[in-house]
Amino acid sequence: MQISGHSAKILVVDDEPNIVIALEYLLQREGYEVQKAYNGQQALDCMENWTPDIVVLDVMMPGMNGFEVARRLREIPALELTKIIFLTAKGTQRDKESGYASGAEYYMIKPFDNDVFISTVNEIMAYG
Amino acid sequence: MSLSLVIGCSLAYISLLFLIAWWVDKRAERGVSVVNNPYVYALSLAVYCTAWTFFGSVGRATTGGLSFLGVYLGPTLLAPLWYMMLRKIILISKNQRITSIADFISSRYGKSTTLGVIVTLIAVLGIVPYISIQLKAVTFGINTLTHFKSGAAPAPTSFWLDSGFWVTVAMASFTGVFGTRKLDPNERHEGLVAAVAFESIVKLITFSAVGLFVTFGIYNGFGDLFTQATLREDTAKMLTFESSGITPFSWNVLVMLSLFAIILLPRQFHISVVENTSPRHIPKAMWVFPLYLLLINIFVLPIALAGKMIFDAGIHPDTYVLSLPLEKGAAWLALAAFIGGFSAATSMIVVEATALSIMFSNHILVPLLIRMRSIGRNHLVNGAARLLDIRRISILLMLFLAYLYQKSVGSTYDLVSVGLISFTAAAQLAPVVIGGLYWKRATHQGAVAGLIVGFIVWAFCLPLPSMAQAGIISNSFVNEGLFHISFLKPYALFGVTGIDPITHAAFWSLLFNAWTYAIVSVNTQPTMLSLTQADLFVNIHKYISGHEYDILKREAKIGDLKAVLNRYLGETRTLALLSDYQVYNKVVLDDHQTAQADLVSFVETSLAGAIGAASARVVIDSVAKEDPISLDEVMRILDQTREAVQHSRIMEEKNEELKTLTLQLTEANVQLKQLDRLKADFITTVTHELRTPVTSIKALSKIILDDYARLDEERRTAYLQIIVNESDRISRLINQVLDIEKLRSEEPVQQMEQLELTEIVLHAVDGVQQLLTERNIKCTITPTNLSLPVNGNRDKLIQVVVNLLSNALKFCNQQEGRIDIHLKQKDRFVFLGIRDNGPGIPAQARQLIFEQFTQLHSKEQGKPHGTGLGLYITKKIVEQHHGSIRVESEPGHGALFEIILPLSNDEPLDRV
């Protein structure tokens, strides 16, 4: 899917390789450019010279957790426009609030529905 | 001199005594005490001077020189000691309403009936000879007056004609009337005391009259008398101490014996303690009484010297007091002297018989009758009248015993010797009394043993030989020793010779008595009652000073107390103090009301701050009157105190328990909260761990479903494989969660049996052989032939080895995987080590890996397969088998997991 003349870039961050595989397939099927990271540090390293439009972020990861990754991401001026979608098994109201507080725009709970996930991503890319 | 004149005068004298006693008793009934006076008290103490003093001292001086002084020096020289002991005894006796020396001793040692009986028997057996010599002295006196120079009195053919018998009858009736006129709960007999005090005056005046007559009538004063005495060899000798034949040791023993006697002789105890009206009389008595002794002894030596110079051997020295006036024609003086000796005898007999009858009836007859009543002879004990009859019977019994003794044995000894035998008997009570006053540890058993041993030694050394000499029992043991053992001669016990029989007997009997008392006391346990009584006796001042226990119920007019406070503290402070007291105690004080004990104590304490405790006590005593307190009340107060102490101790214990319980509850609560949190964490973690594979499965299966045609073969297979793996992961997780639940319940391992660890390991390796081959991992087991019996559950132990093998498989080097298994036995343990050649475990993770949901991640791959529960479960199972697990690792050089299990105690199997 082509929007505004360039292919949207999406970073998928999850420590579960099988989930990354599924997400990568779904996003590539929609035509997005996908980069993968298996923990927080890898994600931040990746974004130093690659600016994604969307970051799909897991919360419970070894080392740096997703909330921390989001907070650091928000401190980088270059990533001002990057949207953050949390995709996590942590589903309590308090977790959600922490997620929004750390700077995320969307919060989705695992296991997710493929169609809902894709339409969310598409909406973001269509309307910002 | 005619017999009728002598008897007439004696009867007239006795009538006078009756009159005095009757008048005093009458006044006492109207509330006026004649005897409540220190001088009367001191004079009544002079009952100590008996006919022995009156007649016998002269006799003793004639034969033994100055030795007669010993028994009078004791109370004089040891007056301070006497004062201390007497004061304490009186305080205790008033507090406890003691009626006799037997009562005192029995009460001290737990109100023991046995001790009452023993003391009474010692007193009766020891004192009866003493009473007998009084009878003898009176008979002797009558015979001297009526038959002087007309030859010896004819021996009476029957007791009807024996003047001694009639003297006894007279004494018995006199005592019966005085000593038992009424039944007083405090055993106070004011008439008796007054009569005794009067008799003391008569004794002193008549004896001094004879002394003056001899010194200034026959001779020209002391100078003339003593000058003439020094000219004769026999009388000159009487003036030296050497002639007395008494050693310094004997002097000391005599002084000690007389100190004991002045307190412990039943009549002395009765007069000085039971009849005492106030402890305040003691200080004055302490110098008046020795003064009396001095006065009555002044003329002993002059009379003895004169008698020796004037008479030949035909006149008995014991009669000099009478025979000297008779010889010189002063018949009326002789009669007066006889009345003096008679009064000495009567006062002694009356008081002694009264004291003994109190003891005899209270400690022997009444308990006996009560016991008889308990078997149905109710009529024998019937009120006060019966009790008085019992007293009278006791008195008769005592006096006729004395009469019989005098008839059979008494004539063998002179007056003083028999008196000293009694002194020695009374001294047997000294250890238990003194110990009872100052030594709390002394026990009832000690007192019983000491008294019995002392009494036996005394009886063996003094009365038995005297009876032998009187021909009543065989004489052989006196000269040859008991059972012909020379060490057991009654006058030379254990070969000790060279001291007179009294000193000898006193020394040995008191030595055995005191040691037995002390040793038995130390080795026995006092009863509870004996302990409280001991405390009461030893610490009597504590009980009456009212500081520790306000045991004295003192009452005073509130107005009086206010006046006292005003005088010493001023009006302002008095008002302030009293208003404080009213506020604190929520009372209103009215001047006309009577203040209770606590207010009296409060005022005393307040005063003590201003004028000192001792002065405060005196001041308060002047306005407060004391309620006498009965023994029962004392015991009740003690019991209450003890109960209160016990109660508060129980409360304290309960409080302590409660505190401990609260603490335990708090701890349990903290633990519960922690468990709760752990449980919540566990559920969160498990949920997450379940959601993760479900997420992959759902996403990938939806992809295959939606894009089945669009997916190539390879990718479809890969996705399906992931779905299968993640499904496995879920089932594994569910199984392990169930395992953990089982481990949590901490039930002991089921189906324990003896197993061969080597066999278990081989079985487990067999199970993963497929995986080893697939991944090209080399696995070694060394050795495989060792017998390592352990006790355990086979399936669980296989699970442990498989878990560890799976771990090793997962982390081993991907290219050249290697797993080495080592088995060994050391001491009573078996060791199983599993080593891989993977990346190893960082130091900070080594303890964490045994916790729930801890997994090691590699940077490149993210999470490894597994639930993070394997090692946790492994550790728990090993611990259930009483073993332990540890890990050793150097990063980059693999990891070694080692399990240590106890060797089976059963017979080894030979399965391998």
pLDDT in tens, A91-113: 888 888 988 999 899 999 999 99
- The answer to whether the Cβ–Cβ distance between A38 and B862 falls below 8 Å is yes
Tell whether the model's pLDDT for residue A56 goes beyond 90. Answer: yes
User: What share of residues in chain A are helix, strand, coil (percent, to 5)?
Assistant: 45, 20, 35
Residues B481 and B560 in one domain: no
- Say which DSSP state B527 is in: P
Residue A32 confidence (pLDDT): 93
Instruction: Determine the residue among A13, A18, A20 to mutate to test chain B binding: the one whose Cβ has the most chain B Cβ atoms within 10 Å.
Output: A18
- The answer to whether the Cβ–Cβ distance between A89 and B692 falls below 8 Å is yes
CB atoms within 10 A of CB B95: 20
Enter the tokens of residue B479.
């000269």
DSSP string, B598-611: HHHHHHHHHHHHHH
CA nearest to B519, candidates B447, B460, B434: B447
What is the 3 state secondary structure string of B543-599? HHHCCCCCCCEEEEEHHHHHHHHHHHHCHHHHHHHHHHHHHHHCCCCCCCCEECHHH
Quickly list H helices, B155-232: 163-179, 190-212, 221-231
Tell whether the model's pLDDT for residue B629 goes beyond 60. Answer: no
Tell whether the model's pLDDT for residue B573 goes beyond 70. Answer: yes
> How close, in Å, is residue A62 to chain B by CA atoms?
7
Residue B895 falls inside a structural domain: yes
Residue B540 falls inside a structural domain: no
Tell whether the model's pLDDT for residue B373 goes beyond 60. Answer: no
Enter the tokens of residue B753.
């049996």
The answer to whether the CB of B123 falls within 8 A of the CB of B101 is yes
**Where is A126: in which H helix or E strand?**
helix A114-127
Indicate the residue of B688, B698, B862 with minimum beta-carbon distance to A89.
Answer: B688
Residue B626's SS3 state is: strand
- Percentage of chain B exceeding pLDDT 70: 79
Tell whether the model's pLDDT for residue B860 goes beyond 60. Answer: no
Q: The CATH number of the domain where B835 resides is what?
A: 3.30.565.10
Instruction: Determine the residue among B707, B717, B858, B863 to mutate to test chain A binding: the one whose Cβ has the most chain A Cβ atoms within 10 Å.
Output: B863
Q: Encode pLDDT of B800-825 as tens digits.
A: 888 888 888 888 887 888 899 999 88
The answer to whether the CB of B395 falls within 8 A of the CB of B175 is yes
> How close, in Å, is residue B805 to chain A by CA atoms?
24
Q: The CATH number of the domain where B291 resides is what?
A: 1.20.1730.10
- Say which DSSP state B133 is in: H
- CA–chain centroid gap for B312, Å, is 62
DSSP string, B666-701: HHHHHHHHHHHHHHHHHHHHHHHHHHHHHHHHHHHH
Between helix B430-438 and helix B444-461 the angle, nearest 10°, is 160
Enter the tokens of residue B358.
């109190």
Handedness of CA B705, B710, B715, B716 (dihedral sign): positive
Indicate the residue of A22, A29, A39 with minimum beta-carbon distance to B862.
Answer: A39
Residue at a domain's end among B702, B724, B741? B741
CA nearest to B352, candidates B395, B404, B407: B395
Q: Encode pLDDT of B645-656 as tens digits.
A: 677 778 888 888
Chain A residues with CB inside 8 Å of B708's CB? none
Pairing of strands B488-489, A83-88: unpaired
Indicate the residue of B687, B700, B862 with minimum beta-carbon distance to A89.
Answer: B687
Q: Which residues contact B447 (CB under 8 A, 6 or more apart)?
A: B105, B108, B109, B112, B115, B432, B435, B436, B517, B521
Residues B681 and B800 in one domain: no
Report, as an integer, the average pLDDT of A30-34: 92
Indicate the residue of B688, B703, B725 with minimum beta-carbon distance to A114.
Answer: B703
**ipTM of this predicted complex?**
0.91
Residue B811 falls inside a structural domain: yes
- Mean predicted lDDT score pLDDT of chain B: 78
- The answer to whether the Cβ–Cβ distance between B694 and A111 falls below 8 Å is yes
Residue B515 confidence (pLDDT): 92
Judge whether A112 is closer than 8 Å to chain B, CB to CB. yes
The residue with tokens 């002598």 is B6
Residues B550 and B675 in one domain: no
Judge whether A31 is closer than 8 Å to chain B, CB to CB. no
CA atoms within 13 A on the CB side of B668: 6
- Say which DSSP state B273 is in: I
Chain B residues with CB inside 8 Å of A29's CB? 707
> How close, in Å, is residue A27 to chain B by CA atoms?
12
Residue B538 falls inside a structural domain: no
Residue B402 confidence (pLDDT): 82
- The answer to whether the Cβ–Cβ distance between B861 and A38 falls below 8 Å is yes
Q: How confident is the model at residue B704 (pLDDT cuts 50, 70, 90)?
A: very high
- The β-bridge partners of B887 are B897
- The answer to whether the Cβ–Cβ distance between B696 and A62 falls below 8 Å is no
From residue B668, give the alpha-carbon distance in Å to each of A64, B660, B664, B675.
35, 12, 6, 10
CA nearest to B737, candidates B865, B855, B870: B870
Instruction: Determine the residue among B687, B694, B695, B861 to mutate to test chain A binding: the one whose Cβ has the most chain A Cβ atoms within 10 Å.
Output: B695
Pairing of strands B789-792, B753-756: antiparallel
Most confident of A31-45, B40-54, B267-281: A31-45
Residue A19 confidence (pLDDT): 93
Instruction: Give the residue numbers spanning the domain of B378.
Output: 3-532
Phi, psi of B894 (to 5 degrees): 80, 180
> How close, in Å, is residue B888 to chain A by CA atoms?
23
Judge whether A65 is closer than 8 Å to chain B, CB to CB. no
Residue B574 falls inside a structural domain: yes
Indicate the residue of A17, A62, A114 with minimum beta-carbon distance to B699.
Answer: A114
Residues B701 and B827 in one domain: no
CB-neighbour burial class of residue B279 (10 A; exposed 0-12, middle 13-18, buried 19+): middle
Indicate the residue of B697, B699, B861 with minimum beta-carbon distance to A17.
Answer: B861
Residue B700 confidence (pLDDT): 93
Q: Encode pLDDT of B318-371 as tens digits.
A: 888 888 888 887 788 888 888 888 888 888 888 888 888 888 877 777 667 666
Q: Which residues contact B537 (CB under 8 A, 6 or more apart)?
A: B92, B108, B436, B437
Residues B469 and B576 in one domain: no
Report, as an integer, the average pLDDT of B855-874: 62
CA nearest to A59, candidates A35, A88, A38: A88
- The answer to whether the Cβ–Cβ distance between B703 and A22 falls below 8 Å is yes
- Say which DSSP state B887 is in: E
Residue B912 falls inside a structural domain: no
Judge whether A39 is closer than 8 Å to chain B, CB to CB. yes
From residue B448, give the alpha-carbon distance in Å to each of B85, B114, B517, B524, B538.
22, 8, 8, 12, 19
- The answer to whether the Cβ–Cβ distance between B862 and A29 falls below 8 Å is no
Residue B541 falls inside a structural domain: no
Tell whether the model's pLDDT for residue B745 goes beyond 80. Answer: no
Indicate the residue of A15, A110, A113 with minimum beta-carbon distance to B691.
Answer: A110
> How many domains would you assign to chain B?
4
Q: Which residues contact A93 (CB under 8 A, 6 or more apart)?
A: none
First to last CA, chain B: 134
Indicate the residue of B696, B706, B707 with minimum beta-carbon distance to A16.
Answer: B696
Chain B residues with CB inside 8 Å of A60's CB? 688
Report, as an integer, the average pLDDT of B431-449: 87
> How close, in Å, is residue A26 to chain B by CA atoms?
8
Residues B212 and B268 in one domain: yes
Tell whether the model's pLDDT for residue B241 goes beyond 70. Answer: no
CA nearest to B402, candidates B452, B350, B450: B350
> How close, in Å, is residue B667 to chain A by CA atoms?
30
Report, as an integer, the average pLDDT of B773-789: 85
Q: How far, in Å, CA of B207 to CA of B777, rounded? A: 135
Pairing of strands B753-756, A106-109: unpaired
From residue B674, give the alpha-carbon distance in Å to each of A92, A113, B87, B671, B681.
21, 37, 73, 5, 10
Residues B141 and B92 in one domain: yes
Enter the tokens of residue B248.
């310094």
Residue B624's SS3 state is: coil
Enter the tokens of residue B18.
């009756």
Most confident of B613-617, B717-721, B780-784: B717-721
Residues B38 and B60 in one domain: yes
Report, as an integer, the average pLDDT of B449-478: 79
Residue at a domain's end among B718, B741, B764? B741
Residues B199 and B54 in one domain: yes
Residue B910 confidence (pLDDT): 47
Residues B109 and B136 in one domain: yes
Domain A2-127 -> CATH class = alpha beta
Q: Which residue of A has its CA nearest to B854?
A: A62
- The answer to whether the Cβ–Cβ distance between A60 and B688 falls below 8 Å is yes
- The answer to whether the Cβ–Cβ distance between B695 and A29 falls below 8 Å is no
- The answer to whether the Cβ–Cβ distance between B703 and A62 falls below 8 Å is no
Q: Encode pLDDT of B473-494 as tens digits.
A: 666 666 666 666 666 666 666 7
**Where is B119: in which H helix or E strand?**
helix B113-147
CB atoms within 10 A of CB B816: 10
B862 φ/ψ sector (left φ>0, alpha ψ -120 to 50, else beta): left
The number of C-beta contacts closer than 8 angstroms across A and B is 70
The one-letter amino acid code at B849 reads I
Structural domain boundaries in chain A:
2-127
Residue at a domain's end among B629, B657, B690? B629
> How close, in Å, is residue A14 to chain B by CA atoms?
8
The more confident residue out of A62 and B708 is: B708
- Say which DSSP state A8 is in: -
Report, as an integer, the average pLDDT of B780-791: 85
Residues B657 and B619 in one domain: no
Residues B308 and B452 in one domain: yes
CB atoms within 10 A of CB B256: 19
